[in-house]
Amino acid sequence: MGQLALGNSVALKCLGNIEGWRFLDGRTRNGTVGLAPTVDPPFTGTHWLVVAGPQPGQVELRCLGDAEGRRWLDGNTAINAVGLAPSTDNPFTGTRWAVVDNGPDTILKCLGDLEGPRFLDGRTMTRDVGLAPNTDPPFTGTHWGVMDFGPFPLPSELHFDNDSIGFPGGVAAGGYAHLTLRKDGSFTFSGHYHDSGSLEYNISTVWGIKDSSNMLFTFPHSSHVAGTFEPGSRDDDWTIDSRNDEIARRWSALAAGTTSILRAEANVELINVTNSVIGVAGLVLGVIAIVAA
């Protein structure tokens, strides 16, 4: 990732050879991007959170400006424009950037689906930002210096809770589930089901967590609860404590925003419930199946 460290707050300084304003500045209130003369207030939009993209070597940049509004740096390759997008979902494919290290400089290449100019280009004379077709002169504004302010204070844990899980069709079972993800990659997936009826049930539970880069983590669990006429316990209590390095690697993308999807089905195969979660999640660029040891 070179000089853009995941999870850090940075400023990008345009190194174009014409004097003028130089710092990449997101204007969250109106969704525009330009250049600012300094990284100090009132130019709070010059601070950016480096978030992991969906593939290694890719980043997404989230503007940390004080005003609410659009936040994701978005290149529109079709019209040679740069702005802020409200999310990284379709159709905002220009929110993904490849990082090209060029000695002491950094070059950002837009990975949007549409063909067109791709290199982030600061125009110091006019104080605006666009996309250039290459990084050679006269496009000297495609070279950027990185000011690193260190790790952004992301939460160390994310908590997801569903305190009431029920089933349609007269299934006499119910329960709850909790999921905690941690910055170091560890997680705890726990829950409880109780069967209050005469029939037994096999319950498939899948919790899907989609991060801000549209990567979906799936956490599955299979339960069995006995009814009046079968041997065994009416209750299933589980606690899974485990770890996955992808949670730690993608923590900046998780902390930047998640979509939580819990699906539980009685007498339905786990793979079918997983597919249901993937379908509900919408745009998904990859699935990371978390299977605890």
Check if the beta carbon of residue 183 is closer than 8 Å to that of residue 256. Answer: no
User: How far is it, in rounded angstroms, from Cα 244 to Cα 249?
Assistant: 9
Tokens, residue 129: 């930002």
CATH number, domain 8-151: 2.80.10.50
Tokens, residue 276: 């249901």
End-to-end CA distance of the chain: 30
CATH topology of domain 157-289: Immunoglobulin-like (2.60.40)
User: How far is it, in rounded angstroms, from Cα 26 to Cα 137?
Assistant: 25
Averages of pLDDT over runs of 10 residues in the chain (293 residues) are 80 96 97 97 96 87 93 95 91 93 87 96 97 96 95 92 94 97 96 96 97 91 94 96 94 89 96 96 89 65
Q: pLDDT at position 283, please?
A: 81
Q: pLDDT at position 285, please?
A: 82
| All CATH 2.80.10.50 domain ranges in the chain, comma separated | 8-151
User: How far is it, in rounded angstroms, from Cα 215 to Cα 286?
Assistant: 5
| All CATH 2.60.40 domain ranges in the chain, comma separated | 157-289
Cα dist from 211 to 52, 85, 239, 278, whole Å: 10, 16, 23, 13
* Helix, strand or coil, per DSSP, at residue 274: helix
User: How far is it, in rounded angstroms, from Cα 125 to Cα 280?
Assistant: 47
Cα dist from 186 to 5, 154, 157, whole Å: 21, 16, 10
Q: pLDDT at position 1, please?
A: 40
Report CA dihedral (249, 255, 259, 264) to the nearest 10 degrees. 70
